[in-house]
Amino acid sequence: MGDHITEIVVFTLLFLLVSGMGFVAARWRAPKDMEHLDEWGLGGRSFGGWITWFLIGGDLYTAYTFVAVPALIFGAGAAGFFAVPYTIIIYPLFFLILIRLWSVSHRHGFVTPADFVRTRFDSPTLALLVAITGIVATMPYIALQLIGIEAVLKTMGVTGDSLLARHAPIIIAFAILAAYTYQSGLRAPALIAFVKDTLIYIVILVAVIYLPYKLGGWGTIFDAAEAKFNASPNPNDGITLNANNQLQYVTLALGSALALFLYPHSITGVLAGKNRNVIKRNMSALPAYSFLLGLLALLGYAAIASGVKPLPGATEGTVDSNTVVPLLFDMQFPAWFAGVAFAAIGIGALVPAAIMSIAAANLFTRNIYKEYLRKDATHAQEARVSKITSLVVKVGAVACIVFLDPQFSIDLQLIGGIIILQTAPAVALGLFTRWLHRGGLIAGWVVGMALSMWMLWQIPNPANGKAHFGGSAFPLADFGFDTKRTIYVGFVTVLVNLLVAIIATVILRAMKSPEGVDGTTRDDYYADEGDPRIDKDVAATVDHQSST
């Protein structure tokens, strides 16, 4: 630890600064009454263009971006670049789908995607499944954020060897995050996102200019990466794709893009916007972050050229690939700038973790607590339950880290993506058509989720010797094909989910099974700010926020 005093001081000061901002955020654009889910969980549905830009950017570009993607590229090469095309694909999907969700949610006062499903298909059971899926899928994603903070602190030498000492950084991060999220709700990550994105842009732009200069140019960096992967025993490693991993790459990019806009935290950031134009402008401009992601990904190759050796992992004989980027900054930059970079990574983990815990808490409150436990819950009771649930969700995220222990932290996000993809037929397709029967959607979810768990169970983790849940790349040979190719689990299971839903719909229609009443109308999907058809309760919240 003595060799990292400057880094620790800089990191601590910046970390405390943004944590303080998280607590102060409760007074930022504060309403008269914070005890309302629209205020605590959605920031009053009042965020304009700039705030939404930083909020959604901070929401989608997480420790997954800063730690997990470069670590995967360091370990596997070109396959890790799947994250770049998938973030390019995602914004047209956002533009087409989430604008419709914003409008119908604004019209009816929906807080979660499960609220929409409940009204659209007249099915509390389907809404419950969507809510549970969102909560479960979010936990490993929050865990990934906490791993990013742990990797930074481990690089600075502030962790120990025992189980408690190793996970102490996660506990500290949990306590700070839990405290200011409980108090300030969505306003906290929205305010912190300004600092987070500024630091990240500064750090990355300096890194992609300075590192090639110091390491002999990008040609030298790519040569070093090629030499490493040529010597690798894994035939899928390399600076270019090969016949064995191209299918995995394509299906992973497409599947990840479909999953991202289904995550509760993505939807929460969108629903906080004040009108349709705010969402449209942001979906048009946010692809600029994809350029940033491409630069970040290249740090994995720079780490190879720098001779970075990942720190030891949790079990003997393993390595912690999540420490690759922090070690790169520690080796190549002055201590003060490394401290700034470490703070950027840490803050970059806090912002999305806060939004994710809020989104998961909203799901529990609106679609489990209010639907099944207390139908007459007041707005204040809903807000209090969400605050408490946001703490419980973070505990679940810590459990994901302790028990799953994946080879690459990115696997936490990929496993979560497979789970959340099973809500695509109900949420994404439901925004455009009600043709699928609610019973068919439930049947599809059950089959898709069961198949997902079976396929994930079959995937081992060679790095730590665990036989199950070791990643998201499923060998096609396990389906009886004579090939070494792999495929993204989520891509297979969501297609099976949809197929089952279609077949079940045809059968249920033939049996004249009741389909329920659609609580939405065609015009709901085009509603905008100031629409006279907004529900009175929603309109009162919007008018109050405008006056403040």
pLDDT of residue 466: 67
CA distance 257 to 284: 16
CA distance 147 to 63: 8
265 or 35, which is more confident: 265
Roughly how many angstroms between the first and final C-alpha of the chain, as a whole number? Answer: 48
Contact (Cβ atoms closer than 8 angstroms) between residue 393 and residue 177: no
CB atoms within 10 A of CB 20: 12
Per-residue pLDDT tens over the stretch 56-87: 887 777 766 778 889 889 988 998 898 888 88
| pLDDT at res. 110 | 94
CA atoms within 13 A on the CB side of 239: 16
CB-count burial class (<10 Å; 0-12, 13-18, 19+) for 502: middle
Read off the amino acid at residue 294: G
Which strand (E) or helix (H) includes residue 320? strand 319-320
All structural domains of the chain with their residue ranges: 2-432
CA atoms of 475 and 484, how far apart (whole Å): 7
Reply yes or no on whether the pLDDT at 296 is more than 90. Answer: no
d(CA 123, CA 130): 11
| Residue 530: other Cβ atoms inside 10 A | 10
The tokens of 192 are what? 């912190």
Mean pLDDT, the chain, as a whole number?
Answer: 85
**pLDDT attached to residue 181:** 84
pLDDT, tens only, 368-416: 999 999 888 888 899 999 989 988 887 777 666 666 554 455 666 778 8
Per-residue model confidence as pLDDT tens digits over 448-491: 999 999 998 888 766 556 667 777 888 888 888 878 888 999 99
Tell me the average pLDDT across 193-205. 87
Q: Which fold has domain 2-432?
A: Sodium/glucose cotransporter (1.20.1730)
Spell out the residues 6+ positions from residue 547 whose beta carbon is closer than 8 angstroms to its own: none
Categorise residue 77: left if φ over 0, alpha if ψ from -120 to 50, beta otherwise.
left
Query: What SS3 state is found at 487?
Result: strand
Q: Are 102 and 534 in contact (CB under 8 A)?
A: no
Q: At what angle do helices 99-108 and 536-547 cross, to 10 degrees?
A: 100
Cα 32 to chain centroid distance, Å, stands at: 31
Higher pLDDT, 536 or 10: 10
pLDDT, residue 420, reads 94
Helix, coil or strand: residue 36 = coil
